[in-house]
């Protein structure tokens, strides 16, 4: 699809893909009783939204047993690729209503509950040179920012090697497009981290004509499948202001050690394709090579190590919505979170200066406390019209040494987003 002009460009403030789907918004012929032709050309997002909802209705008409997640998965999976324009405006593609209905009628979909610590397995008959394509959509039943996306996919070869994995941290849509390099029985697994609690997650897929079987996640309590580290690893964040950083790549469940600047460092396997690397106290700042070593090889990525001050998120929000906040630093450290509707936010050099630089406007204290063992705190404040619509909010989070009233040097990472409701 070329030459597409869109009415919205993402991503959302928290990094999620938006818009997710494109539909025609120009010269849409609609029925009317106001002229002799009994029709009128409609334009804009109002017409495009009607096409999407109409496609959903056609899907329900074709297969009444579809769940809402299956409908979404089918629409996203059958969308045509958008190859031109801003990649942040194309979402998952341009809606193809007929293709979506045909996929639904062919049974290329399923809906299932995925408990924490388990995985849903799909048996795939791979043929060398052919392409596997599927789309997975999970329900957003998260209770905090750290659970914004908890489902990951990996594809295992006939020999049990992980040849592909998804590493999303915030999306609730995962797509695989993989060309088989050999013929044989592959396994596509969807799984959820055990750390996300006991509530099962609702997941739907489109592209596979089968219902999965549930099994214990092989990475829970024991090593996962061995991979060959053929693909380069990547760093998820380009600096380490809070004393650690994340690396993603294929086969990281089998990582045996990690070296940073030639020095062995502690690391934790967190999810399919993702590990957390701890930066030792006093480690020299600057760019260093992070090397991941496994049974069959190694891979490396350059990481900037440094000490950072608090990060300030600044975003206009509709304050009738729910505002989420999140911060991360070292376990056991006290933290203080405020929201300030101001044009020049307080820079938080210390507690005594919190009232300076906010233009005389009110500082809203959101939360105080001590970081738990995870080092992560998050929460929300409700709406209700406390501030005018579109107010520019400065999110300010800091971790303090309360004995000296100064910032703890490790710094803090902070996020802010709003969920309209």
Burial label for 276, CB within 10 Å (0-12, 13-18, 19+), is middle
126: nearest Cα among 73, 55, 181: 181
Provide the β-strand partners of residue 299: 292
**Tens digits of per-residue pLDDT, 378-402?**
666 554 444 444 444 444 555 544 4
**Alpha-carbon distance 260 to 287, whole Å?**
10
**Alpha-carbon distance 72 to 66, whole Å?**
10
DSSP string, 365-383: EEEEEE--TTSEEEEEE--
Token pair in block for residue 274: 């993702």
Kindly report the pTM of this predicted structure.
0.55
Each domain of the chain, given as residue ranges in start order, spans 28-105, 109-216, 234-305, 313-419
User: Does residue 268 surpass a pLDDT of 90?
Assistant: no
Angle at 303 between CA 249 and CA 370, to 5 degrees: 90
Element (H, E) at 50: helix 45-62
Residue with structure tokens 């592209």?
207
HSE on the CB side for 326, CA within 13 Å?
Answer: 15
Architecture of domain 234-305: Sandwich (2.60)
User: Does residue 198 surpass a pLDDT of 50?
Assistant: yes
Q: Distance of CA 86 to CAs 18, 46, 378, Å?
A: 12, 22, 32
- Which has the minimum average pLDDT: 191-205, 276-290, 403-417? 403-417
For the chain, what percent of residues have pLDDT higher than 90? Answer: 22
- 234-305 and 313-419: identical CATH topology: yes
Cis omega (within 30 of 0) for bond into 359: no
On whether the CB atoms of residues 311 and 239 are closer than 8 A, the answer is no
119: nearest Cα among 25, 33, 37, 216: 216
Strand pairing category for 286-294 and 376-381 = unpaired
Q: Which CATH class is domain 109-216?
A: mainly beta
Between these two residues, 198 and 333, which has the higher pLDDT value?
Answer: 333
Average pLDDT over residues 405-413: 34
**Tens digits of per-residue pLDDT, 49-107?**
888 999 999 999 999 999 999 999 999 999 998 877 677 778 889 899 999 999 999 99
Q: Which of 1.50.10, 2.115.10, 2.30.30, 2.60.40 would CATH assign to domain 313-419?
A: 2.60.40
């Amino acid at each position: 699809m070329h030459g597409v002009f869109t009415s919205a460009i993402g991503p959302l403030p928290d990094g999620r893909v938006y818009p997710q789907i494109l539909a025609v918004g120009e010269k849409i012929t609609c029925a009317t009783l106001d002229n002799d032709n009994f029709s009128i050309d409609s334009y804009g997002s109002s017409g495009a939204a009607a096409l999407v909802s109409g496609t959903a209705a056609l899907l329900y008409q074709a297969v009444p047993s579809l769940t809402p997640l299956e409908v979404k998965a089918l629409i996203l999976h059958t969308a045509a690729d958008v190859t031109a324009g801003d990649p942040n405006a194309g979402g998952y593609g341009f809606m193809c209503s007929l293709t979506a209905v045909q996929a639904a009628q062919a049974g290329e979909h399923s809906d299932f509950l995925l408990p924490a610590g388990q995985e849903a397995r799909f048996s795939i008959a791979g043929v060398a040179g052919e392409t596997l394509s599927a789309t997975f959509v999970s329900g957003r039943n998260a209770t905090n920012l750290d659970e914004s996306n908890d489902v990951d996919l990996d594809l295992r070869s006939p020999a049990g090697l992980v040849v592909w994995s998804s590493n999303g941290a915030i999306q609730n849509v995962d797509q695989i497009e993989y060309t088989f390099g050999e013929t044989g029985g592959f396994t596509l697994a969807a799984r959820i981290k055990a750390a996300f609690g006991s509530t099962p997650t609702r997941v739907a897929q489109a592209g596979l004509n089968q219902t999965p079987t549930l099994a214990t996640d092989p990475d829970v309590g024991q090593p996962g499948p061995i991979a060959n580290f053929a693909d380069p690893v990547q760093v998820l964040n380009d600096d380490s202001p809070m004393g650690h950083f994340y690396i993603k790549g294929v086969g990281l469940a089998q990582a045996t050690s990690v070296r940073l600047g030639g020095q062995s460092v502690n690391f934790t396997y967190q999810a399919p394709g993702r590990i957390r690397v701890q930066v030792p106290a006093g480690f020299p700042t600057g760019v260093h090579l992070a090397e991941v070593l496994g049974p069959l090889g190694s891979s490396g990525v350059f990481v900037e190590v440094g000490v950072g001050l608090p990060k300030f998120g600044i975003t206009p929000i509709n304050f009738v919505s729910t505002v989420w906040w999140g911060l991360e630093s070292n376990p056991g450290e006290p933290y203080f979170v405020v929201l300030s509707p101001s044009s020049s936010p307080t820079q938080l050099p210390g507690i005594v200066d919190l009232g300076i630089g906010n233009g005389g406007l009110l500082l809203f204290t959101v939360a105080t406390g001590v970081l738990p063992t995870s080092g992560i705190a998050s929460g929300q404040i409700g709406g209700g019209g406390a501030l005018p619509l579109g107010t520019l909010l400065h999110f300010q989070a800091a971790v303090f040494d309360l004995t000296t009233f100064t910032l703890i040097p490790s710094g803090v990472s902070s996020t802010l987003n709003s969920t309209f409701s």
